Amino acid sequence: MRRFIPGLALLVAISACNGDGDASDAAVTTTGVPVATSTADTIETPSVSTTSTAGTGADDALATARLEMVDDQIAARFIEDAATLTAMRAVPRHEFVPAVYRERAYEDHPLPIGHGQTISQPYIVALMTEALDVQPGDKVLEIGTGSGYQAAVLAEMGVEVYTIEIIQELAAVADETLRRLGYDVSTLVADGYFGWEEHAPFDAIIVTAAPDHVPQPLINQLASNGRLVIPVGPIGAVQTLWRFELDAAGEITGQNLGDVLFVPFTREEG
Query: In this complex, which beta carbon is closest to ligand SAH, that of residue 60 or of residue 269?
Result: 269
Interface residue with ligand SAH among 192, 226, 231, 258 (CB under 6 A) is: 192
Among 149, 100, 102, 140, residue whose Cα is nearest residue 122: 149
Which amino acid, 72?
D
Q: Which of residues 9-68 bind ligand SAH (CB under 6 A)?
A: 17
Q: Which of residues 199-228 bind ligand SAH (CB under 6 A)?
A: 208-209
Calculate the alpha carbon distances from 125 to 46, 52, 102, 129, 177 in Å: 26, 28, 18, 6, 18
Q: Are 112 and 39 in contact (CB under 8 A)?
A: yes
Query: In this complex, which beta carbon is closest to ligand SAH, that of residue 30 or of residue 204?
Result: 204
Q: Which stretch binds ligand SAH (CB under 6 A): 50-58, 62-70, 99-107, 158-166?
A: 158-166
Query: In this complex, which beta carbon is closest to ligand SAH, that of residue 164 or of residue 230?
Result: 164
Rounded distance, CA 194 to CA 62, Å? 38
Q: Which stretch binds ligand SAH (CB under 6 A): 68-76, 112-120, 223-231, 249-257?
A: 112-120
52 included as an active-site residue: no
Q: Which stretch binds ligand SAH (CB under 6 A): 28-36, 69-77, 79-87, 146-154?
A: 146-154
Interface residue with ligand SAH among 144, 226, 231, 233 (CB under 6 A) is: 144
Rounded distance, CA 170 to CA 189, Å? 9
H/E stretch holding 241 reads strand 239-246
Polymer length of the chain: 270
- Residue 185 found at the interface with ligand SAH (CB under 6 A): no
Q: Are 178 and 153 in contact (CB under 8 A)?
A: no
Q: Which of 38, 49, 120, 186 is catalytic?
A: 120
Residues with active-site annotation: 120
